[in-house]
């Protein structure tokens, strides 16, 4: 796998951002920025034009699904992957129908984050196995 050059992590929980950043760095990725809410994620994406945006859905100021729509406009080449605790099929569908390349259930990140990033970089969609059964 060839790591993406730049990754933006957007989640309102700082400890989770640090966990993801550490996991990515251990696997050769460069984490460029972190955002704690949807508005900050859109601004960071516009400035940095990251290869990958890892986006939570439940964030303050602008939820992840709305932020993704704006990111698609300001950073059209960025691949969006949702990392979320939501398992409702309607939410998963809404997230993916907005142009995201994948949806990883947060409880599965240790096993599925890297395969999801690989899939997104290859232009393929990835959905956590536990969610594909719902």
pTM over 0.85, yes/no:
yes
For residues 72 and 42, is the Cβ–Cβ distance under 8 A?
no
User: Residue 61 maps to which CATH number?
Assistant: 3.40.50.2300
Residue 2 within any structural domain of the chain: no
List per-block mean pLDDT (blocks of 10 residues) for the chain, which spans 134 residues.
Answer: 75 95 88 92 96 95 95 96 93 90 95 95 93 66
Give residue 32's pLDDT.
Answer: 77
Residue 75 within any structural domain of the chain: yes
Question: CA 73 to CA 76: how far, in whole Å?
Answer: 6
**Domain assignment of residue 124, given as a range:** 7-132
Residue 49 within any structural domain of the chain: yes
For residues 67 and 94, is the Cβ–Cβ distance under 8 A?
no
Write the CB contacts of 15 (distance below 8 Å, at least 6 apart in sequence): none
- Name the domain count of the chain: 1
Structure tokens that stand for 15 in this block: 């400890």
Give residue 133's pLDDT.
Answer: 61
């Amino acid at each position: 796998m060839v790591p993406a050059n730049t990754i933006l992590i957007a989640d309102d929980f700082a400890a989770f951002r640090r966990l993801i950043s550490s996991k990515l760095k251990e696997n050769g990725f460069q984490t460029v920025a972190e955002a704690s809410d949807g508005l900050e994620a859109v601004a960071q994406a516009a400035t940095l034009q990251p290869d990958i945006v890892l986006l939570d859905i439940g964030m303050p100021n602008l939820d992840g699904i709305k932020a993704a729509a704006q990111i698609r406009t300001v950073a059209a080449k960025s691949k969006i992957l949702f990392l979320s605790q939501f398992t409702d099929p309607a939410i998963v569908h809404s997230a993916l129908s907005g142009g995201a390349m994948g949806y990883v259930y947060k409880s599965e990140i240790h096993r599925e984050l890297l395969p999801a990033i690989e899939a997104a970089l290859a232009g393929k969609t990835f959905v956590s196995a536990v969610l594909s059964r719902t």
